[in-house]
Chain A
Amino acid sequence: MKKLCVLYLVMVCCSPVIAQDNFRPRLKKWFIPDHSTVQFAGNIGFLAVGPGYKSANQKLEIDILLGYLPQSIGGTNLTTLTVKSSYSPWHIELNDTYEITPLTVGALVGYTPGNQFSIRWPGHYPRGYYWWSTALRPAAFAGGAIERSGSAHRKVKHIKLYYEIGSYDLLLISYIQNRKILRLSDVTNLALGIKMGF
């Protein structure tokens, strides 16, 4: 699994560079990513990396991230594949170099494989015995970002730093049913990340 992760990481980081060598920007094939993302925390791994795509109007972004949590940090090794979509309705240009994204909202689904997890419960459970899937985890978040645009001659043309405050289905249900004991801060957590555009 570790080897697979490293291979994936190398592929992801190289793909935009390869793309630049082989294609002119205007002729970029649809599958060539617009940016690479590295995210810390946010329930998709200690670190998660992967390619990202942007809509033409720059408002919608889709990231496909492979996250890893080592046993030394998480008590158990966990690998998570995440599909994440973010919507940012506004971009505020501060000057030639900096741009602020005041609000980003989004949703994601993380898939964590493992013997102890399942998408559908095995046959020895009656139907509906447990109603949720342990391998798939839907989550939602809100956050913001700041982007620095460099010169067009540079390899990395944009660097975006973002933060997200998010939660997932099981925690939100717990919060809704226990408003006396649980605070919103008990069920939310913070993620930080970098997106590098090429």
Chain B
Amino acid sequence: MKREDFTKNEVSSSKWQIKFKQIQHICRALIIHRSFYVSRPSLLLSSLFVTGIMACSDPFQYNPNQVILDKNQQDLNAKNIARIQKRIPSDTVRFILMGDSQRFYDELADFVESANQQRDISFVLHAGDISDFGLTQEFKWVHEIMQDLRVPYLTVLGNHDLIANASTAYRKMYGDFNYSFEFGTNKFIFINTNSREFNFDGTVPDLPWLKQELANNPLQNNAFVIAHIPPFDADFDPKLEKEYAEILAADPHVNLTLYGHQHTFRNGTFYNDGVEYYLTTSMQDRGYLLITTWKGGYLVDRIKF
């Protein structure tokens, strides 16, 4: 067909305008040259192919478990940390904790709208279960919606983000399962606590890594440990629960630790050790936590949207 001519002549037009013109052209050709096509049916079919290809935005998929990502869909956590750290922090840092976006895209879009109305937010933390079925396609949909946020977002790994090829996709798209960064007088530590996905083999969560990260805090910043599954949940390795809680309690800079997974708001000092555990709810439940922190203190608000 004459696809090339169109793309050459109308480089300035938007992609969709070009597509529309192409479809229009094909339809017109089909009507005018009906007799032509009847004698050359392969042409009819090829024009149907072209129309079909243009109707889909991402027409060809090779496997539900394929991990095909554009450059700008890769290494997002590192890129977003760089964006966050470019800004000069004030004494008070405010951020959002949301999570469990799994298969709730309509609600996630409403969340973005609500989050964009909050004032003085530095970033959004996704508490995990970005995807539901562990498909790369789901990560892409979530990223597309989250890109409308006015601030960068960071993620922690959820149990659903380990299903099938999701662990490969997560690594490629977001980065390491355990990582940390500092902003203002705060250190944020993200850790994989999805023990059941690793058959409770004693390696998840990686407690030596956690200890090391907490120890490496020379400026004595507030330390926030963020994970998907809270230690008192049945999906957290019961052999590691006590030690995990003790590590947090032993560090004087850990006052608040953040989770998702249970699809409901919860908070409390569950181990009576001074560390307050906060769980955010799912997108389906249309809620998130708004957290304000300053040196030695914090405030947590539950927001419904």
Binding site for B on A (CB under 8 A): 40-46, 67, 69, 73-76, 78, 80, 94-95, 98, 100, 112, 116-117, 122, 124-125, 130, 132, 134, 137, 144-146, 148, 161, 163, 165, 168, 170-171, 173-174, 177-182, 185-186, 188-192
What is the minimal beta-carbon distance from B76 to any residue of chain A, in angstroms?
Answer: 16
Nearest-CB residue, chain B, relative to A46: B62
Contact of A190 among B59, B106, B145, B196 (CB under 8 A): B59
Asked if A94 and B41 sit within 8 Å, CB to CB, the answer is yes
- Residue B64 at the chain A interface, CB threshold 8 Å: yes
- Residue B14 at the chain A interface, CB threshold 8 Å: no
- Residue B121 at the chain A interface, CB threshold 8 Å: no
What is the minimal beta-carbon distance from B71 to any residue of chain A, in angstroms?
Answer: 13
What is the minimal beta-carbon distance from B225 to any residue of chain A, in angstroms?
Answer: 25
- Residue B61 at the chain A interface, CB threshold 8 Å: yes
Q: Number of residues in B with C-beta < 8 Å to the partner?
A: 50
Bound together, the chains give a CA A134 to CA B197 distance in angstroms of 14
Asked if A165 and B52 sit within 8 Å, CB to CB, the answer is yes
Asked if A74 and B103 sit within 8 Å, CB to CB, the answer is no
- Residue B55 at the chain A interface, CB threshold 8 Å: yes
Q: List 23 A-B contacts (CB under 8 A).
A: A41-B59, A67-B62, A74-B62, A74-B67, A75-B68, A75-B136, A76-B65, A78-B63, A94-B38, A100-B41, A112-B63, A125-B196, A146-B41, A148-B42, A174-B138, A177-B103, A177-B104, A178-B105, A180-B109, A181-B109, A189-B56, A189-B58, A189-B60
Contacts of A179 in B (CB 8 A): 106
- Residue B300 at the chain A interface, CB threshold 8 Å: no
Asked if B164 and A124 sit within 8 Å, CB to CB, the answer is no
- Residue B143 at the chain A interface, CB threshold 8 Å: no
Q: A74-B63, A76-B65, A180-B106 are in contact. Are A171 and B56 (CB under 8 A)?
A: no
Bound together, the chains give a CA A67 to CA B63 distance in angstroms of 9
Bound together, the chains give a CA A78 to CA B64 distance in angstroms of 10
Bound together, the chains give a CA A46 to CA B169 distance in angstroms of 18
Contacts of B104 in A (CB 8 A): 177-178
Asked if A78 and B45 sit within 8 Å, CB to CB, the answer is no
Contacts of B67 in A (CB 8 A): 74-76
What is the minimal beta-carbon distance from A198 to any residue of chain B, in angstroms?
Answer: 21
Contacts of A46 in B (CB 8 A): 62
Asked if A69 and B63 sit within 8 Å, CB to CB, the answer is yes
Nearest-CB residue, chain B, relative to A134: B164
Give per-residue flags for B46-58: 1 if the beta carbon is below 8 A from chain A beta carbons, else 0: 0011001101111
Contacts of B105 in A (CB 8 A): 174, 178, 180-182
Asked if B200 and A124 sit within 8 Å, CB to CB, the answer is yes
Asked if A163 and B49 sit within 8 Å, CB to CB, the answer is yes
Contact of A69 among B38, B41, B66, B172 (CB under 8 A): B66
Asked if B62 and A43 sit within 8 Å, CB to CB, the answer is yes
Contacts of A41 in B (CB 8 A): 59-62
Contacts of A40 in B (CB 8 A): 60
Nearest-CB residue, chain A, relative to B59: A190
Contact of B65 among A112, A146, A163, A191 (CB under 8 A): A112
What is the minimal beta-carbon distance from A51 to any residue of chain B, in angstroms?
Answer: 21
Asked if A163 and B42 sit within 8 Å, CB to CB, the answer is no
What is the minimal beta-carbon distance from B175 to any residue of chain A, in angstroms?
Answer: 16
- Residue B151 at the chain A interface, CB threshold 8 Å: no
- Residue B165 at the chain A interface, CB threshold 8 Å: yes
Contact of A75 among B38, B69, B145 (CB under 8 A): B69
Contacts of A170 in B (CB 8 A): 64, 133, 135
Contacts of B60 in A (CB 8 A): 40-41, 189-191
Bound together, the chains give a CA A173 to CA B141 distance in angstroms of 14
Contact of B41 among A45, A98, A180 (CB under 8 A): A98
List the 3 shortest-distance A-B pairs measured between CB atoms, nearest first.
A75-B67, A41-B60, A178-B105
Contacts of A180 in B (CB 8 A): 105-106, 109
Contacts of A76 in B (CB 8 A): 65-67, 165, 168
What is the minimal beta-carbon distance from A45 to any residue of chain B, in angstroms?
Answer: 6
Asked if A185 and B56 sit within 8 Å, CB to CB, the answer is yes
Give per-residue flags for B157-175: 1 if the beta carbon is below 8 A from chain A beta carbons, else 0: 0000001110111001000
Nearest-CB residue, chain A, relative to B68: A75
Bound together, the chains give a CA A170 to CA B64 distance in angstroms of 9
Q: A69-B63, A80-B63 are in contact. Are A130 and B57 (CB under 8 A)?
A: no
Bound together, the chains give a CA A185 to CA B65 distance in angstroms of 19
Asked if B103 and A174 sit within 8 Å, CB to CB, the answer is yes
Bound together, the chains give a CA A189 to CA B61 distance in angstroms of 6
Asked if A161 and B65 sit within 8 Å, CB to CB, the answer is no
Contacts of A67 in B (CB 8 A): 62-63
- Residue B117 at the chain A interface, CB threshold 8 Å: no
Bound together, the chains give a CA A189 to CA B41 distance in angstroms of 24
